[in-house]
Amino acid sequence: MRRPSVLLAIVALLAAAPAYAQRSTGSIRGTIKDATQAVLPGATVTVTNEDTGLVRTTVTNTAGVYSVAELPVGRYKVSAELQGFKNATRTGVMLRVADDLAVDFELPTGQVSEVVNVEARAAPVKTIGGDVSGLVTGEMVRELPLNGRNFLQLATLMPGVSAPDMLNVKDKGLLGGSDLSVSGSDVTANMWTVDGANNNDVGSNRTILVYPSLEAIEEF
């Protein structure tokens, strides 16, 4: 039986921060071309979660571009097909929280019954988006030494995050605090979410309400 899990996120509420930074899901997009690099409008793209069986289907626009948004995190299979071309499939596409992955295809001419399979590899460098972010996996959450088993300490591993002397990771709830400065912002200018839901104490905006068990955290 699969253990329930939650996704955590911290977002600095800056005027210039894009709204997509607060997502707890991810998206997959790309361009479909033929062997001559001409775009292929009208191609059918199917995105399938290899763990849950979730299926989403879309069609490329006149520029040969497709986009599938608000996908739960997980491992996906992406396939593209168009009459007169070989089908193409990419498996093992790992989607993390707030990812915006580019999965492009080049469809060679041929019978529809012919399929080109490609095993996806993790990209070492993020090539899409200008946001500054980081990811802590559930395995890291469970294995890294944490004082008081408080996941708040993991936020200090992210780029641009600093912890003032007032940060309290021993207590929780109103007795504790989530006093973290992100990219120089005020410690009360953060929004914490759990599975996309607001987890801030709206009275002070410096504490959080729910402290999930470390074993329940899938990504942070």
Judgement on whether residues 136 and 99 belong to the same structural domain of the protein:
no
Which among 119, 139, 160 is the end of a domain? 119
Helix then strand then coil, in percent of the chain rounded to 5, is 10, 35, 50
pLDDT digits over 9-34, tens only?
655 544 344 444 456 788 999 999 99
The count of structural domains within the chain is 2
Is 182:12 a contact under the CB 8 Å cutoff?
A: yes
Domain that holds residue 35: 26-119
> Which tokens go with 3?
């253990």
Q: What is the pLDDT of residue 189?
A: 87
Domain identity same for 11 and 50: no
The predicted model gives 137-159 an average pLDDT of 83
pLDDT in tens, 141-150: 888 888 777 8
* Residue 15 pLDDT: 38
Q: What b-and-e string marks burial along 90-115, b requiring 16 or more CB atoms within 10 Å of the CB?
A: beebbbbbbbbbebbbbbeeeeeeee
Cα–Cα distances (Å) from 202 to 79, 163, 207, 209, in that order, read: 44, 21, 8, 9
Q: Are residues 32 and 11 in the same domain?
A: no
φ, ψ dihedrals at 142, nearest 5°: -80, -30
User: DSSP letters along 168-213, please?
Assistant: --SS-GGGS----EETT--TTSEEEEETTEE-B-TTTSSSBS----
Does one domain contain both 112 and 181?
Answer: no
In a domain, 1, yes or no: no
> pLDDT value at position 120?
59
Over residues 47-65, the mean pLDDT reads 95
**CB count, 10 Å around CB of 175?**
9
Domain check: are 108 and 46 in the same one? yes
Contact call for residues 137 and 168 (beta carbons, < 8 A): no
Does 10 share its domain with 40?
A: no
| Average pLDDT across the chain, whole number | 81
> Does any domain span residue 150?
yes
Same domain, 13 and 30: no
Do 33 and 104 fall within a single domain? yes
**Would you say residue 180 lies in a domain?**
yes
Alpha-carbon torsion, ordered 181, 182, 186, 188, to 10 deg: -80
Assigned domain for 45 exists: yes
| CATH (domain of 72) | 2.60.40.1120
| Partners of 182 in beta bridges | 161
